[in-house]
């Protein structure tokens, strides 16, 4: 029972890895819309994109969600995936959305925060970064 109330982490490496994989899969799910031309056309017609090259913006956004999701899920180039996640969802929160991350735009802002977490923690365990570049477990 003491471990429950302790400030020491419990299975930190596995918890970070599990969160990375789940967030990655959610990003893949959201980004796979890039493969649906009808849906992408609908996004391009949003009022938000009236003064922009809408198709390019929509495909770039959804494509980056998909790529970041794949990278995070696999734990491959995790920090690159994290940077893509941070930049994409910060842009969505403050430029596409209303910037009200405390109320309306919480969903994309939380993805940006998770990107920040994975940038600083790295992939942890269960990652291809660990296979190719080292142990992949350091959370000092």
Closest CA to 17 of 132, 134, 121: 121
Q: What is the reported pLDDT for 47?
A: 80
Flag whether 4 is in a domain. Answer: no
Best mean pLDDT range from 36-45, 51-60, 64-73: 64-73
Flag whether 28 is in a domain. Answer: yes
Number of separate domains in the chain: 1
**Domain range spanning residue 25?**
11-129
Residue 34 in tokens: 């890039």
Which H or E run includes 20?
helix 12-31
pLDDT, one tens digit per residue, over 57-85 is 999 999 999 999 999 999 999 999 999 99
Of all residues in the chain, what percent carry a pLDDT higher than 90? 67
**What confidence tier does 139 reach under pLDDT thresholds 50, 70, 90?**
low
Angle, alpha carbons 118-121-127 (nearest 5°):
75
Cα separation, 82 vs 31, in Å, equals: 15
Flag whether 3 is in a domain. Answer: no
The predicted model scores a pTM of 0.89
Which 3-state string (H, E, C) describes 30-50? HHHHHHCHHHHHHHHCCHHHC
* Whether the predicted pLDDT of 93 surpasses 90: yes
The mean pLDDT of 100-107, rounded to a whole number, is 85
Residue 112 in tokens: 């940006």
**What confidence tier does 127 reach under pLDDT thresholds 50, 70, 90?**
very high
- Tell which wins on pLDDT, 51 or 66: 66
Closest CA to 66 of 114, 97, 32: 32
Flag whether 124 is in a domain. Answer: yes
Flag whether 5 is in a domain. Answer: no
Flag whether 139 is in a domain. Answer: no
Q: What is the reported pLDDT for 138?
A: 55
**What confidence tier does 1 reach under pLDDT thresholds 50, 70, 90?**
low
Q: What is the reported pLDDT for 49?
A: 78
Residue 110 in tokens: 């939380």
Cα separation, 59 vs 41, in Å, equals: 10
Closest CA to 108 of 121, 89, 94: 89
Flag whether 60 is in a domain. Answer: yes
* Whether the predicted pLDDT of 135 surpasses 80: no
Flag whether 136 is in a domain. Answer: no
């Amino acid at each position: 029972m003491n471990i429950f109330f302790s400030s020491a982490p419990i299975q930190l490496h596995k918890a970070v890895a599990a969160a990375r994989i789940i967030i990655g899969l959610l990003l893949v799910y959201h980004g796979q819309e890039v493969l649906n031309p009808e849906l992408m056309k609908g996004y391009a017609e949003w009022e938000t994109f009236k003064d922009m090259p809408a198709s390019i913006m929509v495909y770039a956004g959804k494509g980056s969600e998909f790529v970041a999701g794949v990278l995070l899920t696999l734990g491959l180039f995790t920090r690159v995936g994290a940077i893509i996640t941070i930049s994409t969802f910060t842009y969505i929160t403050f430029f596409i959305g209303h910037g009200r991350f405390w109320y309306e735009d919480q969903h994309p802002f939380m993805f940006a925060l998770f990107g920040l977490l994975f940038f600083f923690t790295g992939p942890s365990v269960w990652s291809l970064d660990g296979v190719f570049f080292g142990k992949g477990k350091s959370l000092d």
